[in-house]
Structures are given as C-alpha cells and as structure tokens.
Chains A and B, each alone.
Chain A
Amino acid sequence: GENVEQHPSTLSVQEGDSAVIKCTYSDSASNYFPWYKQELGKRPQLIIDIRSNVGEKKDQRIAVTLNKTAKHFSLHITETQPEDSAVYFCAAKRTGGTSYGKLTFGQGTILTVHP
C-alpha cells in the first residue's frame, strides 16, 4: 500500500518568512496529492491539491510542487502570518483502480509563525 513520509515534524518561522513542508510517497500509481490544514481543536480542511499531470499549482500565498520522478511533493507558504500557525498534513491517493476511496496521510507538520 501507499506510504507517505512528511518532514519536518515541527517548523518555526518568523512572520513574513517562507515555510516549506516536504512529503514523499511510495506508490508510483498515486496521482492526487492534497494538503490539509488543521487549526487547534478544529477539523482538517483542504487548502490546496495537485494532480500528477501538473507540476506546480498556486493559490495566493500557498503553492504546491510535484516531482513525479522522485515521488515527492512540497507545500510552500510565502509571507507567513500568525494565522498560518496550524498542523499541516500532506496526503496521496490513486483516483483509479479498485481502492480509489483510500487516502493516505503523512504524519503532519506543526507550523508556528512568530509575530
């Protein structure tokens, strides 16, 4: 099955700096890679996703890059703000085949943005 590794487990930055979180996946057939943000005591919420036919996707201050050959993808947050502080999870899945309801998450990164 799929295995997703996420690094770092904790990340501390100053407000205005950039933050980068990296994930690797094991299943070469995975073709959908979402990122979720979970604020303290809240539910995970989808913030951005990318499919394997795209190398990069941006949405305002966040961007995700994908390297299919190396089987890794990254989340980039620019101009960080204190409200970006949260736990971020990457995930990977196949959208075809018989197990397409399965979504495998990384272990999470606790991002702290200091004012």
Chain B
Amino acid sequence: EAQVTQNPRYLITVTGKKLTVTCSQNMNHEYMSWYRQDPGLGLRQIYYSMNVEVTDKGDVPEGYKVSRKEKRNFPLILESPSPNQTSLYFCASSLYRGVGYTFGSGTRLTVV
C-alpha cells in the first residue's frame, strides 16, 4: 500500500532533550515536507526537500533540522525542544514539485 509512515504517533518529552521524528514513504516520491499544525494557524511548512541532499526552509524552520540522505526517508530533528514546539506534526510527500502532497498520519508532540 502506498503510504507515508511517521513514527512515533505520540511523544511526550522534556525541554532540551533531543528527539527525532521519522518519516518514510514507499512511493518513490522526490518531494518531501514537514508541517506543523496549530489551532487557528493552519498547516505551516517547516522544511521541504526536492531530492536527496537538497533541502530548503519553509515558513517556520527555527528550532528544527532535517536531513535527506535517502530518497524514502526525511527525519525531523529537534535538537533542543522547547514547549512552543508542542504541536501536531505531519510529514508529506509528492511525486512532482509539491503537487498533490500525500500526508502521513501525524505525530502529536508535547514538550513539558
């Protein structure tokens, strides 16, 4: 089944403890992206990647890192999480230039 898989689905962590949210897609898509969703603010793009080793900032990249060492994987790294990064995170992938992004199931992160 074609899908975008994120892990974990839920995560509670403490301020300053480094964490990684994994994202993997099995559709051979070139484009991948991370979004955070907050009430009243919609979906805001954190980072996106056009191909292996090619990444670029979205609208809210501060406090996040990404890497794209393999086409199928696009992990999101929070080196020193803070409470304002408590949010619902979605990974997405697209075959062509961000057209028709397919979203993963989401990761609900709480930073205390």
Contact = CB atoms under 8 A, between A and B. Distances in A.
Interface of A: 1, 6, 9, 32, 34, 42-46, 49, 89, 91, 93, 95-96, 99-108
B33 A101 contact: yes
Residue from the set A1, A6, A96, A101 with the largest chain B CB neighbour count within 10 Å: A101
Contact of A105 (B42, B97, B106): B42
Interface of B: 31, 33, 35, 40-45, 48-50, 56, 58-59, 90, 94, 97-106
Secondary structure at the A interface, as helix, strand, loop or mixed, is loop
A103 B98 contact: yes
Q: Which of A1, A46, A49 gathers the greatest number of chain B CB atoms within 10 Å? A: A46
Given A46-B102, A100-B97, 4 more contacts: A44-B90, A91-B43, A102-B45, A102-B98
Nearest to A101: B48
B31 A101 contact: yes
B99 A49 contact: yes
A107 B40 CA distance: 6
Nearest to B105: A43
Contact of A46 (B40, B49, B100, B104): B100
Contacts of B50: 100-101
A95 B103 contact: no
Contact of A104 (B59, B97, B100, B104): B59
A93 B101 CA distance: 12
B98 A95 contact: yes
A107 B90 contact: no
13 contacts: A6-B42, A9-B40, A42-B105, A49-B100, A95-B98, A101-B98, A102-B45, A103-B33, A103-B45, A104-B59, A107-B41, A108-B42, A108-B43
Q: Pick the 7 closest A-B CB pairs, nearest first.
A: A101-B48, A43-B103, A105-B43, A107-B42, A100-B97, A105-B42, A101-B98
